[in-house]
Structure 1
Amino acid sequence: MDLGIAGKLALVTASSGGMGRNIAHSLAAEGANVVLFARSADKLQAVAEEIEKKHGVKAVAVAGSMLETADVRRLAGTLKELGGPDIVVLVTGRPPNPLRDTLDENDESRWTEAYQTQLWAVVQVMNAVAPLMLPRGWGRIIAVTSASAKEPMALHALSTVFRSGVAAYMKGLSKEIGHTGITINCVGPALIDTSHRTGKSAYTAEQTKHRESLTPLGRMGTQEELCGVIAFLASRQAGFVNGSTIQVEGGMGNSLF
C-alpha cells in the first residue's frame, strides 16, 4: 500500500539510535525525507548517512537537546529553510532509573527530571515546530508515549503521570488545529523488544518469559510492528484518525477503550 508520504519532510526526535532511529528508517523507506534531531552529533550524522544510502532520500542531522531552547530554535530554523515539516514524530527519553513503587517516588529531582524529559521536551519542540506546519494545509504529528499512560503499570508512576500529560496535551491541540488539516495522535507501546540497542535482550530469560506472559499473544512486540503503526498514522490513509492514542502492547491492557 502506498502511504502517500513520498517526498514529504519528516522530523524524528531522539533519532540517533533505538526507537527513534528505527522510526526514521521506516518513514524513509516510504520515500519521506527526514530531519534527525538528537544530542549526539556523530551518531546522528552516521544515521543520516545510513538512511540516505539505504533509502535514497535526503536525511539532515541537527544535533541538539529538546530541553535547550537555543537548540530547538536552531532545529526550527533548519526545518523552515527546508520548507517546513509535514510529519513530526516525537520520541522522548525514559524516566529515571531504577524504577520504583509509587510511594517510593519521593525524590523531587526524579520528578523534575521526568517532567522535563518526557513532557516539557515535547511542549518545547511543539511550540517551535507546530507553527511551521499550520500554513501547509496538511500534516501529521505523532507522539510516542507509553501504554502506562492509559492503564497504569507497577513501577511506572513517573512515566504514567508525564506521558499521560503528553497525551492530554496532544488531545487538546488536536481539537485546536485539526481544522488546518493536521492530525495529532499518540502511540502507546509496551512489551516491545529492545534488543536492537545492544544486540542482546535487556532482560534475563526469566524476565523475558514473564513479560511474554503479560499479553495474550505470548510474545514481545517487534520494533517493525511499532514503527508500522507510526508510519500508518503518518500516512494519507490515516487522515480521519485524530486525537487518539493507539496502544501497541499486544492486548496486555484490560480497558475497553
Structure 2
Amino acid sequence: MDLRLSDRVAVVTGASKGMGLAITATLLSEGAKVIAVSRKSSPELDALAGPRLVHVSADLTNPEAPASAIASAVEVFGGVDILVNNAGGPPPGTSLPRFGFLTPDDADWRDMFEFNLFSAVRAIRAAIPVMLGRGGGAIVNVSSTLARQPGAMNVDYSAAKAGLNAVTKSLSEEFGPQGIRVNTVSPGPVRTDWWTKDGGAADIIAASAGIDRDAVMDSAAPEMMRLTTGRLIDPQEVADAVALLVSPRSGSTTGAEYIVDAGALKEL
C-alpha cells in the first residue's frame, strides 16, 4: 500500500532507538523527509543517513528544545507536515518501574511531566502554526496503555500519559476543521531499551521477583501483564500504526486512540 508520504516533512522525537528508530525508518521507506530528534545519535540511526534524514541533537526536557527542532525542519526542509511525539518513558537518569505512589517525590513528578507531557505540548505549539501555513498536517502522540489502566507502579508516568491523551482530544477538536489531524498511539509493553538496557525494567523486575532478566522479558512480564499474544511488542508494530495514522489514507481519522497492546487491555 502506498501511504502517499513522498516528500512530506516529518519530525520524530526519541528517534535514535526503539519505537522512534522504527518510526523514522518506516517514514523514510515511504518517501518522507525526516528530522530525527534525540539527545544523541546511534549506529542504527546513522545507518539511515541520507539526503532525506537530518539528526537534531536535543534534550527535550529543555523548554527551548522542542521549538528548536521544529525550526530545524523549517530551515532544512521548508516546513513540517508530520509530527510524531514519540520521546517518553523514563526521564534521563531515571529507571522504571517505580513501585508505589509514595516513591516518586516532587522532583520526580516534575521530571516525568517535563519529558512525557510538556515536551510534546511545546513541540505541538511550535508545529501548529507551520502546519496551518501549509494547509494542514498530522500529529501522532505516542502514549501508553498505562494511561487507561494505571496501577501501583509508575503512577507519575501514567498520569503524564493520561494528560497527553486529553491534549490529543482537545487539539483534534480545535484544529481538525483547519486540516490538522491529531491522534494517539498507545502501546503496551514494547521490547525496547526501557526493558533491555542494564538496570532497565527487566533487571528491576528480575531482582524483585528473584528470576533471570531474560525470563522476565520472554515469559514473566507477558504473563504478569496478561498479554494475549504471550510476548512483548516489536517496535515495528508500533511504527506501522504511526505511519498509517500520519498518512492521507487516514484522512478521516482524528481524535482517535490506536491501541497496540498485545491484548493487554481487556475492557470494552
Please report the TM-score for the alignment, with normalisation by the length of structure 1: 0.88
Contact 2:95 2:201 in 1 (8 A): no
Q: 101-110 or 146-155: which moved more? A: 101-110
Given candidates 207, 212, 217, the residue that maps to 2:216 is 207
Query: Equivalent residue for 1:24?
Result: 24
Which residue is equivalent to 2:264?
252
Q: Which of 127, 130, 151 is the aligned partner of 1:132?
A: 130
What's the Cα RMSD here? 2.4
For 1:70-219, list aligned pairs within 5 A. 70-81=64-75, 82-95=77-90, 96-194=94-192, 203=202, 204-208=213-217, 209-213=219-223, 214-219=226-231
- Give the aligned residue type for 1:90: N
The letter of the residue matching 2:28 is A
Shift of 1:98: 4.3
Q: Residues 101-138 of structure 1, C-alpha deviation per residue, up to 9 Å, x if partnerless?
A: 33323511111111111111111111112211112223
The 1:250/1:117 distance shift into structure 2, 3 A limit, reads same
**AA matched with 1:146:** S
Amino acid at match of 1:22: A
Q: Tell me how far 1:217 sits from its aligned partner.
A: 1.6
Match of 1:224 in 2: 236
Contact map agreement 1:87 1:139 (CA 8 A) in 2 = yes
* Count of residue pairs brought into register by the alignment: 250
Is the 1:146–1:159 contact (alpha carbons within 8 Å) kept by the matching residues of 2? Answer: no
Relative to 1, partners in 2 of residues 1:6 and 1:196: Cα closer, same or farther, differing over 3 Å? farther
Whole-angstrom CA distance in 2 between matches of 1:21 and 1:66? 17
Which residue type is aligned with residue 58 of structure 1?
R
Q: How far apart are 1:18 and its partner, in Å?
A: 2.5
The whole-number CA distance in structure 2 between the counterparts of 1:126 and 1:202 is 29
2:186 partner SS: strand
SS in 1 for 2:231: coil
Query: Do structure 1's residue 2 and structure 2's residue 2 form an aligned pair?
Result: yes
| Distance apart, 1:255 and its partner CA | 2.0
Q: Do the aligned residues in 2 keep the contact of 1:194 with 1:202 (CA within 8 Å)?
A: no
What secondary structure does 1:104 align onto?
coil
Distance in 2 separating the partners of 1:156 and 1:71: 25
Tell me how far apart the structure 2 counterparts of residues 65 and 132 of structure 1 sit (CA, whole Å).
Answer: 22
Q: Does the residue aligned with 2:229 lie in a helix, a strand or coil?
A: coil
The 2-side partners of 1:207 and 1:156 are apart by 18
Q: 1:152 to 1:69 in 2, by over 3 A?
A: closer
